[in-house]
Amino acid sequence: MLRTKSREQSDVPILFVSCKNQEMDKVLGLSIGGDDYISKPFSPAELVARVKAHLRRQNMSHSGAPDAPAPQNILTAGDLEIDLSAHTVTVGGKPVHLTAKEFELLVLLSRYPNRVFTSRQIFDNLWDSYGIDEDVRTVMVHISNLRKKIEPNPEKPRYIHTVRGVGYKLVSG
């Protein structure tokens, strides 16, 4: 069920934007985990205001104060450092510029060091599903690009290892 799965993974506000405006549709959207439901037609200004209101509430509930800085969340593996709050990556103290998808991929692997993820698991976590061949190629390309950016020698990876016939893992030590 959406409510259980989405709330176990995150407490990010969920807003339903729909052309359905029947009471039952709204009740269903809210009952499965939505925090708000807005139906068409609506003005862009109203949507922005609702999103900002939910984010304000979320920030207040986490910090206790409206404008308090978010806690710094840093993941490390050797001299690889990922600052989740600042959305930055450094290797040996040098900044590494990643695409949004590369950053998401690195964060996924870093949250579970030494755990092997299949290409399918990675794809399902970061992309919408299409076909298994496309999934594998997409993941392989992103892993390769990520290695080129963070590995001292991408041919002999230090951080992201391939487990032949299974998938990929980030080595923590």
pLDDT of residue 12: 74
Radius of gyration of the chain (CA): 20
Nearest C-alpha neighbor of 147 from the set 137, 165, 160: 160
pLDDT of residue 4: 45
pLDDT of residue 65: 46
pLDDT of residue 33: 74
pLDDT of residue 1: 40
**Alpha-helical runs (H) found in 36-96:** 44-63
Q: Which residues of the chain have pLDDT under 50?
A: 1-4, 63-66, 68-70
Contact 88/106 with Cβ under 8 angstroms? Answer: no
Nearest C-alpha neighbor of 35 from the set 19, 56, 20: 56
Provide the sign of the torsion angle of the four alpha carbons 69, 150, 120, 18, taken in this order. positive
